[in-house]
Amino acid sequence: MPLIDDVTFYSSAIKKHGITAKGVNWASKENQLLRFKMILDFLPKDLTDFTIVDAGCGFGDFYHYLLKKKRVPKKYIGIDSLTDMHSIASNATGQEIIHANICTQQLPTADYYICSGALNVLTPFESYQFIQNCYASSRVGFIFNALYGETESETYNYIKPSQLKDMLLTLNVTTKREAKDYIQNDITLGFYR
C-alpha cells in the first residue's frame, strides 16, 4: 500500500489547484521545472531516434517541457495509474498515454524510461518494484528523481543511501549517474545499461 491514498492525494490537489504544478503536488512550478531540467540533462542531446516513456506522467507536463526545449523524442508514451491523470494527459498531449500500475503490470519496451516525482508517495518496496520494472523495460536506461536521505516521513518516501546501494547491486546497473544539491533532499539518478 502507498504511504498515503494516492487517489485522494492527487484528486484533492487537482480540485484545489487545477491543472498546474501544484495540482500534482509539486511545491512550485520552479521545483518541477528544475527536476525536469535534471532529467533532460541526463538524456542525449538529440532525442529524435529514441522512444521515451514517462512513468507516472501526471498531466504530461514533461512532454510539454520537451516541446518547449525543442528536444522531442521519436516517440513519447506516458503511463499513469490514476484515471484523472490518464484522461488529462491524453487530452493535453495528444500522445499515447497508458493507464497502468507501473509496479505490477508489464510495461512497453522503450529506449529510455523517465520518472519525476511519482516515487515520492510509494512505500520503499513499491519504489523498488517501480524502479525495477522501468529499468527492465528500458533498452538504454531509466532516469528518475526522488526524495533522498535518511528522513522519515509518514507521507513521503525517501530513498536512503543504503537502499540505493542495494538497488544498484540487485538490478545489475552497469553505469550510474547522479546529481544532488539542486533541491534539498532530492536526487536525480540515471541507471544505464
In this predicted model, what pLDDT tens digit does every residue of 108-161 receive, in sequence order? 999 999 999 889 888 899 999 999 999 999 999 999 999 999 988 887 889 999
Report the chain's mean pLDDT, rounded to a whole number: 89
Whether the per-residue pLDDT at 11 is higher than 80: the answer is: no
pLDDT above 90 covers a percentage of the chain that reads 72
Q: Quick one: pLDDT at residue 10?
A: 55
Cα Dmax for the chain:
43
pLDDT above 70 covers a percentage of the chain that reads 85
Condensed to tens digits (0 to 9), the pLDDT of residues 165-184 reads: 999 999 999 999 999 989 99
- Confidence category of residue 94, pLDDT binned at 50, 70, 90: very high
Looking only at the bridges linking them, the beta strands covering 186-192 and 175-180 are antiparallel
Helix extents (H) in the chain: 6-17, 29-42, 61-68, 83-93, 124-136, 161-170
Q: Quick one: pLDDT at residue 121?
A: 83
Encoded amino acid at 96, one letter: E
Could you tell me the domains of the chain? 6-192 (3.40.50.150)
- Confidence category of residue 1, pLDDT binned at 50, 70, 90: very low
**Strands of the 75-80 sheet, one edge to the other:** 96-99, 75-80, 51-55, 110-116, 138-147, 186-192, 175-180
Question: CA angle, 161 as apex, 44 and 7 as ends, to 5°?
Answer: 75
Q: Quick one: pLDDT at residue 15?
A: 63
Q: Which DSSP symbol is given to 159?
A: B
- Confidence category of residue 86, pLDDT binned at 50, 70, 90: very high
Among candidates 150, 169, 170, 166, which has minimal Cα distance to 158? 150
